[in-house]
A and B are shown apart, each in its own frame.
Chain A
Amino acid sequence: MINDTIAAIATAVGEGSIAVVRVSGPDAVANVEAIFSSNEKLTEAASHTVHYGYIVDRKTREKVEEVLVTVMRAPRSFTMEDVVEISTHGGVIAVKRVMDLLLESDIRLAEPGEFTKRAFLNGRIDLSQAEAVIDLIRSKSERAFSVALKQVQGNLSKQIEEQRYTLLETMAHIEVNIDYPEHDVESMTSAFIREKCSSVMDAIEKLLKTANEGKILREGIVTAIVGRPNVGKSSLLNALAKESKAIVTDIPGTTRDVIEEFITINGIPLKLLDTAGIRDTADVVEKIGVERSKNALEEADLVILVLNQNEPLHEDDIQLMEQIKSRQVIVVLNKMDLPQNLNMDQIESRFDAQHIVKMSVKEQEGLDALEEAIAAIFFTGGIEANDLTYVSNVRHIALLKKAIVSLQDAIQATEEHIPIDLIQIDVRLAWEHLGEIIGEAVGDSLIDQIFSQFCLGK
């Protein structure tokens, strides 16, 4: 993977009025040119020049984004390779569209720290910084890994594994036909391969559709709303989401599971998790909810602690504050419409004043102040996991698309009566793309499958 062409978002997502996508590698200029519409040709552009134009859809040539493109030719660039920087409007949507289009070509999403690594390997960065480069790769990889893992847990990874297994069985069958031609196993026909590939392709297309609709792979700063039962967490979620998602009652312990909601505040995507109130309880169902709340708390990039300022601090509140003290926290003092019985010293000694917001969710008061506080934390760089979450989504979608292309190639090949061992190349590629999403290495699983599925011997 040395010297292929890579791309990544170079600015923090959502921040500022301009976002920059950086592309580096031998095919950088040609690859951007393929989705760029302008009076000038990038491939003929001189180094260090800026070009105005539009990013367009590769096939339909529809205009997608208005951009400025900067071309920097090797070796006069950060990585000492050909580099193209695409400046788009700020915000998430524009930059995502551009990335998606780029990754449809041979461009690979950069690994964590890869631009810096290349700059170093190509002699751009001083020797004394080698250690720093290594630290950067290691820490970014670990963050990216944990974020990616978080993303593919549960439903998505189960669905992908199912489809991979169908492909694996098909591949094992093809391989047995090839490696044991005289063995009495059923011949693998084009029709059979086509049927299997089509079913997998349908499933992935469905997955991709939901991904684009933002239901499964939706990105955002994971924000957990926590607090004792009945302090108004669900009401806060509903107020932020501007619709009634969580059931709100005045019975403590109403929310028994984690409810998710995606919202955007000042262009910052948030994945809100409304949690069951955390307290010691004997109710079995509520207990499970409390457990899940604790897990949600662990994954969260940002914690919104809701307190009822009408009551003095409870022991559960103190315990919770201890638990989250090393996290990014915004404290919401709810129920301002009622008299204040909370000792403010206990709060102010623990949290920055700018992270404390007084609200009355019921009266819709203080919502703006909360949004501002969230935006402030984000823009001052307090939270960055969002970039990684976002990036790993881009990567997943790109891989799902690549898997579909490989399956289309395989299906087309079956129609053209291409021999099965060649069709296998595309089936295997699809299987590998899906494997990358769930972090599964290629390994020996195919060989294992062959021998567990078929009885072979001499």
Chain B
Amino acid sequence: MGYLAGEYDVLVIGAGHAGCEAALAAARMGCETLLLTINLDMVAFMPCNPSIGGPAKGHVVREIDALGGEMGRNIDKTFIQMRMLNTGKGPAVHALRAQADKFLYQHMMKETIESTEHLTLRQGMVEELLIEDGQCVGAVTKTGAEYRAKSVVLTTGTYLRGKIIMGELMYESGPNNQQPAVKLSESLRNAGLQLVRFKTGTPPRVHKDTIDFSKTEIQPGDEQPKFFSFETTSSDNEQLPCWLTYTSAATHQIINDNLHRAPMFSGAIEGTGPRYCPSIEDKIVRFSDKPKHQIFLEPEGKNTSEYYVQGLSTSMPEDVQLQILRSIPGLEQVEMMRTGYAIEYDAVVPTQLYPSLEVKLLPGLFTAGQINGTSGYEEAAGQGIMAGINAARKVQGKEAVVIDRSQGYIGVLIDDLVTKGTNEPYRLLTSRAEYRLLLRHDNADLRLTPTGYDIGLIKEDRYARFQHKKEMVELEIERLRSTKIRPDETTQAMLASVGSAPLQNSVDILTILRRPEVTYAHIEPISPSSHELTEEMKEQVEIQIKYSGYIEKQLIQVERLQKMEKKKIPDDIDYSDIHGIATEAKQKLNKIRPISIGQASRISGVTPADISILLVYLEHYNRVIASRG
């Protein structure tokens, strides 16, 4: 009953946050791209919290934007609250977090996809991958449509053999009662891929009119919102507040009384859940001495009465969920609109991927998002754009683009996945980055926009604006370095006003700006630039000067890292042949097949001595190749 339904350069399966970025990137790079999804109404759906960003995750959104992706622009159009977090800490961990109008978010993304050249959006449930000569060459849907493509990107989210669990109730389902993809796992297994079972969950949603907000604390957005996209300059979005309340002693009692009905503890859940995102029952059992837990009430959009109950992720039976909700101050009379649930799904063991996100066993197939063992919209989108880029580059006969750990959180995320793997759904944290100070929210464009431009995702006009910013920042730093100010009255008064020691002699402005209490705004009236600088440029100047000591220290480490990353390992090396490498290391190396000495050195169980030997072997190998001409 099969029929050839179309031939494309790139086929993207799944239109969640990973799939949307992958499809847009491939199409914008000029590849004829098809985006297939089980349900067209679920494009860019947020099945869990209605928010985007926060530490590390928000950084990823900035990076996606710097590369020419969509998530940042889309949330800037559809946010209903914007907050800059961690403003009391260093610039590297300042992080933007938005509450989204989740319905509007979907509509805007769908509209963008529909109006993008070279991109076709279609409904269809893929049941099987087309594999010829060991290569992935397309996919077949439930209706028998056969789509052929030069590269395929698979982003299945939690749909792959998805199973919803609420108390004693258990049924096959994708998120939010969508149809699950039941057959596709088999296709992956047949191709030799190792799969794991992971679990995640979501809290109940409640009706706004049944919340007594007077018993909660208001959490407003920033008065002067900042934006995710470097291209967004203003917004007239109206902001809505979130609300904070806490669990009570009664909540804990109800949970403890009903633990025997909790699938988390009865053994009904086989998948591994994330530690950083435990259900409320898990939190109360593991941290029994904590008297109360925070609960944030978050609007799901402007035109809906649904509120997301952050902090109350649970797979308790529905009746217990209602009791739990009503034991929380402010929610005594609450009506539940959707029940919380846990969901289990299949994922691919990510060490089976190259850093390009291509599957080692199945050339032509790329995977991104939750299928690779991550959780979170931002993590999914970050992988999605890279998978889309590399799928397109494969079609174009170009080398894969890999972002290294010093260039972006996207690089940290992908390198962790493909080099170390993960035992639980993986969440990005800023502490996973060794060069956190370099991977700032503010400099994502400096780090990645040149790459976006080289790839073809950043167009000339934007690149010109970027270069102008970069030049202005450099010029201004040079000016501050070479300009001295005298200890005159104005200067001393300024210094006194911020509690800074007076000057003894003339010094360059750079030195003064390094004092912790002095900011660029203090310097500006004394020695203004002759150029017109935007706030963004001034911020950049200030950060680069103020933290230069720390930044330089990390740059030295990065230089070493990059030397190791540049030492590439040929594809056809058989580690079993290398005399001298420890057996455990040989097995790991043969399995992971690192692309560089840098990646090899991060594999657990591979020692510095193994790396030394590998270097000697490679040198030997290269000289032999060279002598053969």
Contact = CB atoms under 8 A, between A and B. Distances in A.
A179 B430 contact: yes
A448 to B, nearest CB: 8
Interface in B408-426: 420
Contacts of A177: 89
A425 B93 CA distance: 13
Given A179-B430, A456-B276, A458-B311, A127 B623 contact: yes
A150 interface: no
A17 to B, nearest CB: 33
Interface in B228-281: 275-280
B564 A175 contact: no
Contact of A2 (B48, B290, B564): B564
A385 B56 CA distance: 48
A111 B608 CA distance: 9
A409 to B, nearest CB: 10
B273 to A, nearest CB: 10
B283 A455 contact: yes
B430 A178 contact: yes
B597 to A, nearest CB: 8
Contacts of A134: 579-580, 613, 616-617
A419 B619 contact: no
Interface stretch (A95-103, A249-257, A439-447): A439-447
A121 B275 CA distance: 44
Contact of A447 (B293, B431, B436): B431
Given A131-B579, A422-B437, A175 B48 contact: no
B560 A2 contact: yes
A23 B85 CA distance: 48
A220 interface: no
A117 B310 contact: no
A457 interface: yes
Given A3-B563, A178-B55, A421 B624 contact: no
Contacts of A183: 294
A133 interface: yes
Interface string B425-450: 00001111000110000000000000
Interface in B263-317: 275-280, 282-283, 286-287, 290, 293-294, 296, 310-311, 313
Interface stretch (A135-143, A306-314, A364-372): A135-143
B616 A422 contact: no
Given A178-B86, A422-B547, A457 B616 contact: no
Contacts of B567: 2
A444 B276 CA distance: 14
A338 interface: no
B579 A457 contact: no
B560 A458 contact: no
A418 B514 CA distance: 11
Interface in A415-456: 416-422, 425, 441, 443-444, 446-447, 450-451, 455-456
B90 A121 contact: no
A130 B616 contact: yes
A182 B85 contact: yes
B516 A416 contact: yes
Interface in B41-58: 48-49, 55-56
A446 B431 contact: yes
B620 interface: yes
Given A3-B563, A134-B613, A137-B609, A178 B294 contact: no
Nearest to A2: B563
Interface string A168-193: 00000001011111111000000000
B560 A4 contact: yes
B200 to A, nearest CB: 10
B286 A455 contact: yes
Contact of B293 (A113, A120, A127, A455): A455
Given A121-B616, A179-B55, A447-B432, A457 B311 contact: yes
B483 interface: no
Contacts of A131: 579
B527 interface: no
A1 interface: yes
Contacts of B583: none
A441 B93 contact: no
Nearest to A174: B431
Contacts of B620: 127, 130
A111 B613 CA distance: 12
Interface in B90-117: 90, 92-93, 95
Contact of A458 (B88, B310, B579, B580): B310
Nearest to B436: A421
B16 to A, nearest CB: 18
B609 A112 contact: yes
A137 B278 CA distance: 46
A260 interface: no
A205 interface: no
Given A178-B430, A417-B516, A457 B619 contact: no
Contacts of B283: 455, 457
Contacts of B554: 425
Contact of B290 (A113, A120, A419, A455): A455
A444 B422 CA distance: 11
A311 B154 CA distance: 83
B169 to A, nearest CB: 22
A450 B275 CA distance: 10
Contact of A137 (B280, B313, B516, B613): B613
A114 interface: yes
A1 B276 contact: no
Contacts of A112: 609
A421 B90 contact: yes
A458 B278 CA distance: 7
Nearest to A417: B516
B531 interface: no
B550 interface: yes
B92 A421 contact: yes
A114 B277 CA distance: 45
Given A112-B609, A457-B276, A181 B55 contact: yes
Contacts of B55: 178-181
B132 to A, nearest CB: 40
A458 B49 contact: yes
Given A138-B609, A141-B609, A179 B429 contact: yes
A416 B550 CA distance: 14
A457 B313 contact: yes
A121 B609 contact: no
A298 to B, nearest CB: 23
Contact of A133 (B293, B420, B607, B616): B616
Residue with the highest number of chain A CB atoms closer than 10 Å, among B95, B276, B616: B616
B284 to A, nearest CB: 9
Contacts of A447: 429, 431-432
Nearest to B423: A444
A195 to B, nearest CB: 19
B564 A117 contact: no
Please name the 7 residue pairs, one residue from A and one from B, whose CB atoms are nearest each other, closest first.
A419-B90, A141-B609, A455-B287, A134-B580, A130-B620, A451-B275, A421-B90
15 contacts: A1-B564, A120-B619, A134-B580, A141-B612, A178-B93, A181-B95, A182-B296, A419-B90, A421-B436, A422-B550, A425-B550, A451-B275, A451-B276, A455-B293, A457-B276
Given A182-B294, A457-B279, 4 more contacts: A1-B608, A130-B616, A179-B430, A444-B420
Interface of A: 1-4, 111-114, 117, 120-121, 127, 130-131, 133-135, 137-138, 141, 175, 177-184, 416-422, 425, 441, 443-444, 446-447, 450-451, 455-458
